[in-house]
Amino acid sequence: MKVVMTRTTDVYVGLNERAYFANRNKADLFVSYHLNAATATAYGYEDFTYPTQNKATINSRNIYHGAILPALRALQQFNRGKKVANFAVLRETNMPAYLIELGFITNASEYNTIVGQTNFELLAQTHASAIKQALANLGKPNGTVCVDPGHGGRDPGAVSRGYTEAAYVLRFTLRIREILQGAKPIAPIKDKKEAVTMLNSTGRKEIRELLKKARAAGIIDAKYHTDDKIAKYNDIQLLSYQAAVVNREFK
Q: Mention every residue, 6+ apart, whose C-beta is less than 8 A from residue 192.
A: 235, 236
Tell me: pLDDT of 149 over 70: yes
What is the signed CA dihedral for 101, 104, 109, 114, rounded to 10 degrees? Answer: 40
| pLDDT at position 130 over 50 | yes
What integer is the mean pLDDT of 167-195? 73
What share of the chain has pLDDT > 70, as a percent? 86
pLDDT of residue 186: 45
Q: In 10 A of CB 24, how many CB atoms?
A: 12
User: What is the model's pLDDT at position 234?
Assistant: 80
Pick one of 3.30.420.480, 3.40.50.1970, 3.40.50.1100, 3.40.630.40 as the CATH number of 2-180: 3.40.630.40
Q: Are 46 and 112 in contact (CB under 8 A)?
A: no
* Identity of residue 66: G
- Top pLDDT among 148 and 117 is at 148
SS (H, E, C) the chain: CEEEECCCCCCCCCHHHHHHHHHHCCCCEEEEEEEECCCCCCCCEEEEECCCCCHHHHHHHHHHHHHHHHHHHHCCCCEEEEEECCCHHHHCCCCCEEEEEEEECCCHHHHHHHHCHHHHHHHHHHHHHHHHHHHHHCCCCCCEEEEEECCECCECCCEECCEEHHHHHHHHHHHHHHHHCCCCCCCCCCCHHHHHHHHHHHCHHHHHHHHHHHHHCCCCCCCCCCHHHHHHCCHHHHHHHHHHHHHCCCC
101 is an active site residue: yes
Q: What was the pLDDT predicted at 35?
A: 95
Please give the Cα distance from 233 to 228 (Å, whole number). 9
Q: Which position has the higher pLDDT, 34 or 184? A: 34
Identify the residue with better confidence: 213 or 49: 49
- CATH 3.40.630.40 in the chain, residue ranges: 2-180
Q: What's the whole-model pTM score?
A: 0.74
Residue in 92, 101, 110, 165 annotated catalytic:
101
